[in-house]
Amino acid sequence: MADHSHKLAAEAEKLRDQLNRANYRYYILDDPEISDAEYDKLLRRLEALEREHPELATSDSPTQRVGAAPSEKFGVVVHRRPMMSLGNAMDAEEMREFDKRVKRLLKSDAEIEYVAEVKLDGLGIELVYDDGRLTVGSTRGDGINGEDVTQNIRTIKSVPLRLQHPERGKIPRLLEVRGEVIIPRSGFVKMNQEREEAGEPMFANPRNAAAGALRQLDPKITASRPLDAFLYAPGVIEGVNFKSQWDFLQGIKALGLRVNPLSRVCNGIDAVLEYWNEITEKRHALDYEADGVVAKVNSYALQEQLGEVSRSPRWAIAYKFKAQQAETVVEKIDVQVGRIGSLTPVGKLRPVQLAGVTISNTSLHNLDEIRRKDIRERDTVLIERAGDVIPYVIRVTKEGHPRAKPFEMPDKCPVCHAAIVHEEGEVGYFCVNANCPARMRESIRHFASKGCLDIEGLGDKLVGQLVEQGLVKELDDLFHLTKQQLAGLDRMADKSAQNVLDAIQKARKTQLDRFINGLGIRHVGEHTARQLALKFKTMDALADASEDDLLGVRDIGNEVAHSIREYFDEPRNLKAVKRLIKILEVEAPAEVEGRGALRDKTFVLTGTLESMTREEAERKIMAAGGRVTSSVSRKTDFVVAGAEPGSKLKKAQDLGVRVLDEKGLVQVLAGTN
């Protein structure tokens, strides 16, 4: 019996080592050696072992990343060594002055060796490893006291719970390491797209999103956000002696901690300025927000000799990028109504040039954000372009005179005057009327899009005319349009009018999942629509389903079930759906044999396919249980490359994602490859 227990313990330890090594290869070296499927298989085996034999579980096991109950509040962590802030240089001349000051303090004319690093725009953290195990994770706080966010830090997959044993050297008895938690731009864009589709308020910028995620009281919420971390500074270290900043960076990388690969040793301040120019040019291509470059004297002996002043080191300085900011006046605050009825406050700005673009509108996101920044009409505000793309208000710089009243969300929809729903505890406000003209424009665009009824020719301008002239007040009105009505619109000749009519008639025959997706129900996208169609078979059955019935559908939780039920409980929505049911020929989704083989496999399509359209390929993949996404990542299982593939093919090859040609896709769908 003892021998059996020993074998199980040895197996569990081996699994932990394999999983930790896989994480190290994936996140630190960017060189994965096993597939996601293999990783999941190892993780499931370890989970089973620890579940059946709780005594085998350890605090640093890869299974323990999200296991803590929600916290009522964060405790305080006192940093053993203060987390200092950096002085700033505004231009190259101030950088040269810094270099002269360093030389003067060191009484040396020799060129100083610096380490130049990208300055990340994230949230400062400190990690504490005792004998190689992560024991504490905290925020920077005021530099002396931080918040204990250990359970949330543990959810970040690029942060090891146990240090990797380096090929040379040893694991420190104590390692305090500082760095930054960020959300990559790609993850930020995807997260905001998902929030917009779900009718949730979007985040203003990646830094705010990262800070909010790390300070969630429930670690499971933190785990759902695409957080990442880079480490770059030492705290107290015992058991290992690093002699320089570069030595430290290479040392912690060998221990399994993530460092920025763009960091560089620079001999002299001119090399640092050249580095700043290089990063300035490529900053827009980086997958994270960066707001400058940090230069640090490389030698720790020289750092100690230089010391610090107040709470800033004399041996380091930040050289910020030129700000993409401008001041302008908020002339008015309007409210826009989106496809699912979400109301978004929008600031109408006095036009201003910013980074080569004229900015006249900016989303103010939600009422809470407006109140937090106290933005009112006629105020002068400082605006910035997040990632040099999305303009947003940083703060009010000058209040209007006289000061306008605080902004309030309307009681009724500003377009159709229907009731506004605002659930307690939620940020969003929603128009309940699915036939609201403002919603209708967006609803038609969505209803006609490729993932829904796929009606060619219904572009933004045509849809706008149809709604503005009252020709389409509800979705089913599309199917009653005449050639004469269409030909009477701007830039619509007889031939183009007939083409649109033909496309509309063709769309009468559709699949149930496309129909469900086309309704624009809050929280329901292509994948959820597919699961609903497979479960309920008809739209009538779905409309009659209770929340309990809906909760029985794969991947559907309380929030989605409530949203679906809320949609069909609105009489106007139900009447609109009933009218569409009479018009459309809706096919129930076919259960595809072998569907389980592609369950949750993720595909990306690029290039032109010959034997089928891209939409047909997407339908076949989804019917087989797979998912189709638009961007390639390490989580992608297959990239299907047709003729003239784009950059997605190269990215797939760089990441080691399996690439299929059209024949390979057919074989995978048939379960023969």
Contacts (Cβ under 8 Å, ≥6 apart) of 124: 83, 139, 140, 178, 179, 180
Point out which residues pair with 126 in neighbouring strands.
138, 178
Closest CA to 179 of 139, 135, 124: 124
> Which residue out of 7, 119, 412, 578 is catalytically annotated?
119
Determine which helix (DSSP H) or strand (DSSP E) holds 477, and give its type and residue range: none
Q: Report the amino acid identity of residue 103.
A: K
**172: amino acid identity, one letter:** P
Paired residues of 335 in beta bridges: 345
Backbone angles phi, psi at 481, to 5 degrees: -65, 150
Best CA proximity match to 207, nearest among 327, 320, 318, 120: 120
Query: Which ranges of 423-525 does DSSP label H, i.e. alpha helix?
Result: 437-447, 460-468, 483-487, 494-506, 512-518
Sequence-separated (6 or more) residues with CB below 8 Å from residue 325: 354, 382, 383, 384, 394
Annotation marks residue 119 as catalytic: yes
Strands 509-511 and 585-587: parallel
* Of 276, 290, 374, the residue nearest 324 (C-alpha): 290
- List all residues 6 or more positions away from 129 whose beta carbon is below 8 Å from its beta carbon: 135, 163, 172, 174, 175, 176, 177
Tell me if 403 sits within 8 A of 376, measured CB to CB.
yes
Count of other CB atoms within 10 angstroms of residue 601? 16
Decide: helix, strand or coil at residue 652. Answer: helix
Instruction: Residue 68: name the closest of 153, 134, 1 by CA.
Output: 153
Type of residue numbered 605 = L
Cis peptide leading into residue 402 (ω within 30°): yes
Asked if residue 210 lies in contact with residue 181, where contact means CB atoms within 8 angstroms, the answer is yes
CA distance 249 to 533: 52
Structure tokens at 232: 């770059």
Contacts of 568 (CB under 8 A, 6+ apart): 542, 543, 574, 577
Q: Which of 22, 593, 620, 673 is nearest to 659 (CA)?
A: 673
Which of the residues are catalytic?
A: 119
